[in-house]
Structure formats: C-alpha cells, structure tokens
Amino acid sequence: MKTIAAPAMAAIEAGEAIVTGAVKIVPTATNALVGYVEAETSEFELVGAQSHTTTDGLDVGPIAWALTGGSGGDPIEGDTVVIEIFACADYGDTGANITPGIPAAEDYETVCEDSLPGGVTEPKTGLGVYLKVMGAVPDTGWSAYGTHKSGGTRGTTYHVSVWRGVHPSTIFAATALTTKGFLSALNPPDIGIGPSGYDPGAIATSSFDRSYIGASWAFLSATSGQVFPMMAGGAYPDDIFLPGNLTDALQTPDSGGAASVNCGIAYGRSLNPVYDGEGDPIYLWGGYGPIELDGDTYQGIGARAFAQQNAGAVGGVAQGLTLGISGIEPAALEVLDSAEIKSASVVLYRLIFASDGKTLLDAHIFDRGRVDTVEGEETIGGDATISVGVESAARGLGRSGGRRRSDSDQRLIDPDDGYFKNTAYAQMKTLYWGGKRPKHGGA
C-alpha cells in the first residue's frame, strides 16, 4: 500500500490534483571488456633466470638449475619454465633456414617458432620459444643442443626463465606473434589483449641494421583475470636488449667467442582487466523543466501521461507499465539504444501536483521493474515516438509454475517422498461458514 500525503489526498478527493510520473532508468552492466590497467600488485613471480651460449656442437648437454635474479630456488610443481632459443649462421650462408626446436625435448610446448633467411650481407637466424609446466616431480634442469635442428654455425644462445602464478591449463591470455627483419630496432607485434591490444614497444636499439626476430604474448593468472605481457627477441650481432614499454629485461650476454648473438625476455606491468559497469542513468518526468527527486535531477518531456499502466483490477494479476515518449526528434532514437537499456532497472515515481500545476504535493515510488521491450516509431518529416515496456517483479507472481500436486511429480524430485501419494483418492469437502448446511428435498 503506497501512502499518499494528506494534502495530496485532499486534492485528489476534491478533483483538483494533477498527477504525472517520473522515471529513472539505469542500464545494466554488459560486463564487456573495455581494457586493462596496471595492477598495483602482481600475481606473477619471477623465480629466476639463467642463460647459456654455445658454438657449433660445443657446450651442449644437460644443464642443472642455477636460477638468479628472482625469488630463488628451483622450480616447484605448477611453475612455468620458458626456454628461448636464438641461433644464427654466418653472413653469406644461403643454405637451409635455421629451424627452431628443442631436439629430444618434446614435452615442451611450442610458444612460437620463426626463422629469417640469410643473404650475402645478412645472416640467417632462427628463434624458438618453448614452455613447460612443472608436474608433481619437477625437472632437475634443462638441456642445450649446440645448434638448432638445421644450421646455426655462429652458435646458439639460450635464455631460461621460471615463472610462478601462471594458470596451469589456460596459460595464455593472448597467443604469441612474431616479427622479423633487418632493422635497427626490435619491435615485437602488439599483444592481443583488450579491444585495442597492448604495444610492448621496441626492445633493442642499434646504430646500424641488425638481423632480429621478436615475439610477444601474455600469460593469464592462475587466480584471476590478471594478465602478464611478455616479449622475447634475439639479434645478431649482439645488441643491447631493452624492456621497451615493459619494466624489466633479462638477457643472455655475448659469450665473447664465436657466438656473437644476443637474446632475452622483457616483462613487467601486470595488468588487471576493466569491464564496463552500469551506464549513466536516464531521468525523465512528465512536466516541463528540471525537477529534483531524492537528490537526482529529472528532465521534463512535457508529456503528463507518458507512464501508463496497461490494466489493473483489485485482487487481479499485476500488470506491466508502458512509458510513452513522443514529440521528440527522430535523431534522438539513436541516443536511446535498445540494446543498452534492455533489462535495465526502472523506478517509477508518482507525482501529485496542486491545481496550479506548480506546487508538488507528494512524490513517492509507485512501482519498480525492468525494461522488457523498446519500440520506436518515426514519422517522415515529423516527430518520433518511443514506447518502453516495463515488467515489474510482481508480474511473476501471477505465472503458474510447472509443478503438479501429484505423487508422480513429487517423486521426480525425491523418489522416497510419498507426501502426495494419497492425493488422487482425496475427496472434496465443502465447508459452510456462518450458517447451517442447506437442505433440499430428498436430503
């Protein structure tokens, strides 16, 4: 029961009240991803890193963990090991391209592989990035294999890093992409996260052309939607490896021998996803000019009867509401996006004015509901009309359910529940209140 203030009730009884409505429409959140922001706390942890360089066929074989630069210790169950391999052949070597890969280590998953053909003045190179999630019995180390599966006469450079906090099954928030060329800057591709992606930036600079390959990707957190953008790259001759738009860089230094190549991984700036929330509320009322209700300002549309109830009866089923907005420019239809306000929350006020149309006697919430339908109608050369159908929560009370008061129906829920087993045999009993049972002839 909605209580109406005494002055307003008196005006209604005297037939002098002017009644109109006001409506507040709050679009629901679509939960669409709109971007990422830098996280204050990262859910990813660098356990440590190590590197290794080889010449052709030398310094190969198993290598024990010797991680530095992180939280320390050997990998444990659930940690993600990333191995980056960059190999290079001599200038003028125009033979088969260097094929990235880790021989005899098929249990590593390939993140990306790419190669760059050589020429008379450009060396040919190959880059491979691989990972493995440590199981219940973590590996005791990893292996180096001199060169790639084919070629690599200038040697091979390895960079190994171990990460904690990566999702064990859904590892990537964005798959890896590679780029390559003979340029003076190493610019891996944008990482495919968010509507517009994430630019890792240039990670190597030089005063003259370099033969390089770069890759970029993003890990997904094991505990939330946080992502961790990363990039890897290699260059020949050895070059300065910079973090670009990320914050930190790990690199394998030049060995000073025949292997004059350099590679590394850049990382940092964990990012939290940002989803769109509720849209800006829409405030309308049936009079002219602005009016303030409960701290919100409602804009007048000059349509006193713009909020109407379809039908109603005492003791009957609750009826829906229709908000009719007419006399507006057709271009305004685009502003009221039906997809945006679908299922939007609606609060309807009833406003009661004195006969002068200016003195507000009472304002109270009349009904609540959600937008069910939005229909627009345009008139060529004229105005447009918008009809917004609102269904209140009370509408659901009049709907019949699918349950039946029968033994078979109840036993579908609980086979041992026989509460309704005698329902089919129950007789109809008529009760007479306030008097004797009526009599008739032959009774």
Domain ranges of the chain: 20-32+278-397, 42-269
Q: Is the pLDDT of residue 204 over 80?
A: no
pLDDT in tens, 410-431: 888 888 888 887 777 666 666 6
Higher local confidence (pLDDT), 401 or 252: 252
Contacts of 385 (CB under 8 A, 6+ apart): 324, 325, 326, 327, 328, 376, 377
Among 134-138, 183-187, 330-334, 414-418, the range of highest mean pLDDT: 134-138
**Terminal-to-terminal C-alpha distance of the chain:** 47
Higher local confidence (pLDDT), 276 or 384: 276
Average pLDDT, the chain: 76
Name the band, by pLDDT with cuts 50, 70 and 90, for residue 281. Answer: confident
Mean pLDDT across 368-376: 76
Task: Give residue 166's pLDDT.
Answer: 95
Tokens of 229: 């953008």
Which residue type is seen at 179?
T
Q: Is the pLDDT of residue 253 over 70?
A: no
Name the band, by pLDDT with cuts 50, 70 and 90, for residue 107. Answer: confident
Task: Please tell me whether the overall predicted TM-score, pTM, comes out greater than 0.75 for this model.
Answer: no
**Are 116 and 126 within 8 A, CB to CB?**
yes
Task: Give residue 77's pLDDT.
Answer: 95
Task: Give residue 318's pLDDT.
Answer: 47
What phi and psi, each to the nearest 5 degrees, are found at residue 309? Answer: -90, 135
pLDDT in tens, 208-232: 556 778 889 999 999 888 999 998 8
Give the burial string for 156-179 (b: 16+ CB within 10 Å, else e): bbbbbbbbbbbbeeebbbbebbbb
pLDDT in tens, 68-95: 989 999 999 999 999 988 877 665 555 5
120 HSE (CA, 13 A, CB side): 0
Higher local confidence (pLDDT), 44 or 391: 44
Q: Is the pLDDT of residue 151 over 70?
A: no
Contacts of 137 (CB under 8 A, 6+ apart): none
Tokens of 211: 């033969």
Task: Give residue 205's pLDDT.
Answer: 66
Mean pLDDT across 132-156: 75
Task: Give residue 286's pLDDT.
Answer: 82
Tokens of 263: 């590679």
Task: Give residue 234's pLDDT.
Answer: 79
Task: Give residue 144's pLDDT.
Answer: 80
Among 14-28, 163-177, 347-361, 418-432, the range of highest mean pLDDT: 163-177
The DSSP element (H or E) to which 157 belongs, if any, is strand 156-164
What phi and psi, each to the nearest 5 degrees, are found at residue 276? Answer: -70, 145
